[in-house]
Amino acid sequence: MEEKNNGMDIVREIADKKYEYGFTTDVHTDIIEKGLNEDVVRLISEKKGEPDWLLEFRLKAFRYWQTLKGPTWGHLNMPPIDYQDISYYADPTAQKTSNSSKEIDPELMKTFDKLGIPLEERLALSGMAVDAVMDSVSVKTTFRERLKEKGIIFCSITEAVHEHPDLVRQYLGTVVPYRDNFFAALNSAVFSDGSFVYIPKGVRCPMELSTYFRINARGTGQFERTLIVADDDSYVSYLEGCTAPMRDENQLHAAIVEIVVLERAEVKYSTVQNWYPGDKDGKGGVLNLVTKRGHLRGRNSRLSWTQVETGSAITWKYPSCVLSGDGSQAEFYSVALTNNYQQADTGTKMIHLGKDTKSTIISKGISAGRSQNAYRGLVKVGKHADGARNYSSCDSLLLGSQCGAHTFPYMDVQNPTAVVEHEATTSKISEDQLFYCNQRGIPLEDAVGLIVNGYAKDVLNKLPMEFAVEAQKLLGVSLEGAVG
């Protein structure tokens, strides 16, 4: 009992701890008026100087979106979103004096420096190229020249539309069609910026590619769109990070990530999501409503999703894989941590269509405070997917008696040669382990961090080194003292 009291004190202490990335950047930002209608869609397209086919794509999506209602099936208590009270475009790079050369505002450089994302190549982490996106616009993409030598295209999707229109047109919306779901339709209508990656045949991308997303402006939503195409026999590892300032209103983030993996190609996609989670009373925070999907089109292609989700007031995302290519392999590794009033409903879909396809799902949920954390996943084996294999393991760890941990796996098997296995356990953090650590002189909060990191290790190990370290720290910070 003694320890429990200690625990509660620490909870109080830590609950007041500040979200480290909660500052705002004071830069002139070109924000269009709040509200959403066809004119806004046209305005966004115009601002980006888009070709007609793309405007058409947006308008079709918008008209379809108007016929839809927001989904209600998540294990989430979602505040109603007023889609007319959001600005759909905010450009922090717009200069007061129009049309001067596109030099980056030093304030922006400072912001990304502060976030640990240096945009000057000489300062950059070796071996990582970064596309930095603030609000609706890509601020800068580093190492582009070096990548270009190998034929790799890494730029913002806005630039890609202009410079590589055929590639974008060929693949955009083919993995996540605008009719896919409510938020996909919304994103397709108003998406602003995001990254575009193309790895040509036979090329192994020599460095990690990374996009850093930042919401800054007040009252805006971020609707980024990322498209990654890995051509035959290519390889790329891609990282995504995100933060937002502390605001007491909810900010909307509705992104789409599409990945196309061709013959024998391999893509690793890692996310460390640390959007502002709201304060300790559940006020504010980002609504993270994302559609991510990869299509393993080629034979023996591989895709792995790794995600560490610690931020956002609400997380609603299911990075998925469609395994069409025979012999393709997909993996999903996830750590989702919720504290205070955070809610997460996350998981994956593995759709086995090709023969001898294999998928692995490892999910680790950690709930603390008054948070709700749900794993939701679908494993589907189609009629023709002979020899399909899936193994899923979903564990939940509960810290505190007022949080919830839920597991909703769906399995739909139509092929007799398939083997699909699912295991799940839910338990609380072991008092014996805590005591053991205490006895060895490790303070309670460190012990919790230690044990949680151990628990999440299978997933953290899948992250690239730089990210793994960051993710570990993040887990500690988000959780400290959450045991009570």
Partner 1 sequence: MICEHSASVLNDIREQAFVDFQRLGFPTQKLERYKYTDVAKAFAPDYGLNLRHIDIPVDPYEVFRCDVPNLSTSLYFVVNDRFYDKALPHASLPEGVQVMSLAQAATENPHFIEKYYGRLARTSKDGLNALNTMFCQDGLFIHVPKGVVVDRPIQIINILRADVDLMVNRRVLIVVEEGAEVKVLFCDHALDDHQFLATQISEIYVGENAHLELYELEETHVKNHRFANTYVDQQRSSTATIDSITLHNGLTRNRTDVTLSGEYAETRMYGCVVADKQQHVDNNTLIDHRVPNCQSTELYKYVLDGEAVGAFAGRVLVREGAQKTISQETNANLCATDTARMYTQPMLEIYADDVKCSHGSTVGQLNEQALFYMRQRGIPESEARMLLKFAFVGEVLDSITLEPLRDRLHYLVEKRFRGELSKCEGCKLCK
For binding to partner 1 (CB under 8 A), which residues are involved? 73, 75, 381, 383, 396, 398-428
Tell me whether residue 38 or residue 431 sits nearer to partner 1 (CB atom).
431
| Sequence-separated (6 or more) residues with CB below 8 Å from residue 202 | 231, 232, 233, 234
CB of 470 to partner 1, least distance (A): 28
Cβ–Cβ < 8 Å for 298, 325: yes
Phi, then psi, of 45 in degrees rounded to 5? -60, -40
Q: Which is nearer to partner 1, 10 or 217 (CB)?
A: 10
Say how far residue 455 (Cα) sits from the centre of its chain: 21
Nearer Cβ to partner 1, position 308 or 381? 381
Q: How many CB atoms lie within 10 A of CB 177?
A: 14
For partner 1, the closer of residues 419 and 469 by Cβ is 419
Q: Which two tokens stand for residue 112?
A: 């990304």
Alpha-carbon distance 339 to 342, whole Å? 6
CA pair distance 157, 142, nearest whole angstrom: 15
Q: How far is the CB of 81 from partner 1 (least distance, A)?
A: 23
Q: Which is nearer to partner 1, 56 or 421 (CB)?
A: 421
Q: What is the smallest separation between the CB atom of 416 and partner 1, expressed in angstroms? A: 5
Nearest 5°: phi and psi at 418?
Answer: -75, 150
Nearest CB to partner 1, comparing residues 314 and 368: 368
Closest by Cα among 361, 368, 407 to 75: 407
Task: State the minimum distance, in angstroms, from the CB of residue 381 to partner 1.
Answer: 8
Contact between residue 334 and residue 315 where contact means Cβ atoms under 8 Å apart: no
Nearer to partner 1 by C-beta: 211 or 342? 342
Shorter beta-carbon distance to partner 1: residue 45 or 342: 342
CB-CB contact of 226 with 258 (8 Å): yes
Cβ at position 97, least distance to partner 1 in Å: 56
Q: Please enumerate in sequence order all residues whose Cβ is within 8 A of that of 346, keeping only pairs 6 or more positions apart, or say none.
A: 307, 309, 315, 316, 317, 318, 334, 336, 374, 375, 376
Cβ distance to partner 1 smaller for residue 404 or 476: 404
Q: How far is the CB of 100 from partner 1 (least distance, A)?
A: 56
Give whichever of 200 and 404 is closer to partner 1, judged by the CB atom: 404
Is beta strand 256-261 parallel, antiparallel or unpaired with respect to 285-296?
Answer: parallel
CB of 476: closest distance to partner 1 in angstroms?
20
Nearest to 70 by CA among 57, 61, 81: 81
Which positions ≥6 away from 265 have C-beta within 8 Å?
Answer: 199, 230, 231, 232, 233, 234, 235, 298, 301, 302
Rounded CA-CA distance 55/41 in Å is 8
Query: Minimum distance between the CB of residue 429 and partner 1, rounded to whole angstroms?
Result: 8
Nearer to partner 1, 97 or 401 (CB): 401
| Distance (Å, whole) CA 343 – CA 309 | 11
CB 96 within 8 Å of CB 28: yes
Q: CB of 396: closest distance to partner 1 in angstroms? A: 7
Nearer to partner 1, 247 or 352 (CB): 352
Of 134, 124, 117, 120, the C-alpha closest to 26 is 134
| Calpha distance 429→437 (Å, rounded) | 13
Shortest distance (Å) from residue 87 CB to partner 1: 35
In the complex, least distance from residue 342 CB atom to partner 1, rounded to whole angstroms: 15
What whole-number distance in Å separates Cα of residue 119 and Cα of residue 103?
13
Task: In angstroms, give the least distance from the CB of 3 to partner 1.
Answer: 14
